């Protein structure tokens, strides 16, 4: 989206003691630091766009691998001579590994920062792709599982980063859009994962020919992952020299010995609105994981031989979701209506799921494309809403920690829903399986409605802006400044009081 601040020359310079009349347009601020000395300054760097798009690229590479087996599950079953449940685990391993590893990874993100996390993510992702290149033989299913396990470990370092990266690099009026761009890469990877494997790996009976096509698919993903890894080493930077917002400046003022990761976790677990969001987010995204993993089975049951169209339907779901994510991110930046937007999108996800469930078996593929697209627009568009709402409810806790708990909930429900829906489909058909998911989306909708909206980050930024304008006005009017906040320091671990 366009930058609402000053032109590039102004954007790239530090902002000191702004004129109140210029404050809104330039998007900069400075406030007394509590000692009556130098001011806290903010600055936006052009490099922020390179960082967020590079993150999106390696998130894309990893997300592609999550679904590359599931969308051609019938072909993988035939090639490796395993059952469908074993192939489902090639997707579910992404969910399983996340649960035990998310806490050490979020601790590492807090202690070592964005760059170390990005390097580890890409090293694991790259290793996983090359292991899978060696697994393109019918007797080497265990090798492809090892490669997928490596890629799934990389995902743990990726999923919780969008909100953290947006807060560290972007201005207050850009964070939701930046978070959406970060999620956008993951969604684009899933979209490519739906589209490309059915094209690269045709359903042929000759095992030698099939092995050739599978190997080509693996080589392409390995080449892309390696190229992105090299770019991350060269380009990816930890954080800007100066913070982009006053909220981020306050977070930087926390001394390392003042921060306890376990204490942060305990504070989040006692935050009732956030815990409601954790469960409701897990229900929604867990449903999306189950639908994505089992999509090939659902489509083939009603439309035999339509493997390529199953991939295209998955692509439709994710492309529509990417549009939904971007629109929701821009909407949040404009309106700051976090709870209202999250609730409306959740309700529409439930409605979309109901329509999809009752139209899947009508015998018209074009209907499935339309209903799946509507479902994807709202269900996938919900992802950045959950991240940003969580940051607002939990500020000044680490964005990586709050996002990690959201994703942990999603993985747990994803495993439960994928296994349960798969069994229900096998016994009672796709309609029963999809109604099963609708029931839990209804529960999630009710829980979202019960969340008490407490926009802590917005309050912190607003309170700082009020102080800044008061400081500047006093200086202009009298030349001598006496601040009502002089000698006080904002405590970032204390919820800001309402300003009205």
3-state DSSP of the chain: CCCCCCCHHHHCCCECCCCHHHHHHHCCCEEECCCCCCEEEECCCCHHHHHHHHHHHHHHHHHHHHHCCHHHHHHHHHHHCCCHHHHHHHHHHHHHHHHHHHHHHHHHHHHHCHHHHHHHHHHHHHHHHHHHHCCCCCCCHHHHHHHHHHHHHHHHCCCCHHHHHHHHHCCCCCHHHHHHHHHHHHHHHHHHHHHHHHHHCCCCCCHHHHHHHHHHHHHHHHHHHHHHHHHHHHHCCCCCCCCCCHHHHHHHCCCHHHCCHHHHHHHHHCCHHHHHHHHHHHHHHHHHHHHHHHHHHHHHHHCCCCHHHHHHHHHHHHHHHHHHHHHHHHHHHHHCCHHHHHHHHHHHHHHHHHHHHHHCCCCCHHHHHHHHHHHHHHHCCHHHHHHHHHHHHHCCCCHHHHHHHHHHHHHHHHHHHHHHHHHHHHHHCHHHHHHHHHHHHHHHHHHHHCCCCCCHHHHHHHHHHHHHHHHHHHHHHHCCCCCCCCCCCCCCCCCCCCCC
Q: Is 435 left (phi over 0), alpha (psi -120 to 50) or beta?
A: alpha
Q: Is 482 left (phi over 0), alpha (psi -120 to 50) or beta?
A: beta
Which phi and psi (to 5°) does residue 199 adopt?
-80, -40
Q: Whole-structure pTM over 0.95, yes or no? A: no
Around Cβ 111, how many Cβ atoms within 10 Å? Answer: 11
Q: Is 375 left (phi over 0), alpha (psi -120 to 50) or beta?
A: alpha
Q: What are the angstrom distances between the C-alpha of 43 and each of 174, 244, 411, 450?
A: 13, 5, 37, 38
- pLDDT, one tens digit for every residue, the chain (500 residues): 444 343 333 344 444 434 433 333 334 444 444 444 444 677 777 888 888 888 989 999 999 998 899 888 889 999 999 988 899 899 889 988 988 888 888 788 878 888 898 999 999 999 999 999 999 999 999 999 999 999 999 998 888 788 778 878 887 777 777 877 877 788 888 889 888 998 999 888 889 999 999 999 999 999 999 999 999 999 888 877 777 777 777 766 665 555 567 787 888 888 888 999 999 999 999 999 899 888 888 888 888 888 788 888 888 888 888 888 778 778 877 877 878 888 998 999 999 999 999 998 888 889 999 999 999 899 887 877 887 788 888 877 777 778 778 888 998 999 999 999 989 998 898 999 999 999 999 999 999 988 877 665 555 555 555 555 555 555 555 554 443 333 333 343 333 333 33
């Amino acid at each position: 989206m366009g930058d609402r601040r000053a032109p590039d020359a102004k954007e790239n310079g530090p902002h000191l003691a702004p004129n109140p009349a210029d404050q809104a347009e330039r998007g900069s601020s400075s406030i007394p630091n509590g000692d009556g000395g130098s001011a806290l300054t903010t600055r936006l760097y052009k490099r922020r766009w390179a960082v967020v798009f590079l993150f999106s690229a390696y998130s894309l590479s990893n997300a592609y691998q999550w679904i590359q087996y599931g969308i051609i599950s019938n072909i993988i079953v035939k090639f490796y001579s395993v059952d469908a449940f074993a192939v489902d685990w090639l997707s579910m391993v992404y969910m399983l590994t996340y649960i035990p590893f998310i806490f050490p990874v979020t601790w590492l993100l807090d202690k070592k920062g964005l760059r170390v996390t990005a390097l580890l993510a890409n090293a694991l992702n790259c290793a996983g792709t090359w292991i899978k290149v060696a697994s393109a033989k019918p007797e080497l299913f265990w090798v492809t599982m090892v490669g997928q396990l490596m890629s799934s470990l990389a995902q743990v370092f990726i999923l919780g980063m969008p909100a953290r990266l947006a807060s560290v690099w972007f201005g207050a009026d850009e964070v939701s859009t930046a978070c959406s761009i970060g999620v956008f890469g993951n969604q684009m990877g899933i979209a490519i994962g739906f589209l490309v494997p059915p094209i690269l790996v045709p359903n042929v009976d000759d095992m030698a020919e099939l092995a050739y096509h599978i190997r080509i698919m693996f080589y392409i993903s390995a080449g892309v992952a390696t190229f992105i890894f090299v770019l991350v080493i060269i380009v990816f930077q930890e954080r800007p020299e100066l913070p982009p917002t006053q909220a981020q400046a306050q977070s930087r003022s926390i001394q390392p010995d003042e921060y306890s990761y376990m204490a942060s976790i305990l504070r989040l677990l006692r935050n009732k609105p956030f815990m409601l969001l954790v469960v409701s987010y897990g229900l929604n995204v867990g449903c999306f994981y189950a639908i994505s993993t089992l999509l090939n089975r659902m489509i083939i049951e009603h439309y035999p031989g339509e493997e390529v169209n199953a991939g295209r339907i998955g692509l439709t779901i994710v492309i529509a979701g990417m549009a939904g994510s971007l629109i929701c991110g821009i909407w949040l930046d404009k309106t700051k209506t976090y709870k209202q937007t999250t609730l409306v999108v959740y309700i529409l996800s439930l409605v979309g799921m109901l329509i999809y469930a009752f139209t899947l078996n009508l015998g018209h593929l074009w209907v499935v494309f339309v209903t799946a697209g509507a479902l994807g627009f709202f269900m996938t568009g919900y992802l950045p809403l959950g991240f940003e709402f969580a940051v607002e409810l939990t500020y000044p806790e680490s964005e990586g920690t709050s996002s990690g708990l959201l994703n942990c909930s999603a993985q747990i429900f994803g495993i439960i829903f994928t296994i349960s829906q798969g069994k229900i489909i096998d016994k009672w058909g796709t309609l029963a399986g999809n109604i099963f998911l609708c029931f839990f989306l209804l529960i999630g909708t009710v829980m979202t409605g019960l969340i008490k909206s407490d926009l802590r980050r917005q309050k912190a930024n607003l309170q700082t802006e009020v102080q800044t304008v008061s400081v500047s006005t006093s200086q202009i009017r009298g030349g001598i400044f006496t601040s009502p906040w002089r000698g006080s320091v904002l405590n970032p671990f204390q919820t800001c009081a309402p300003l009205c």
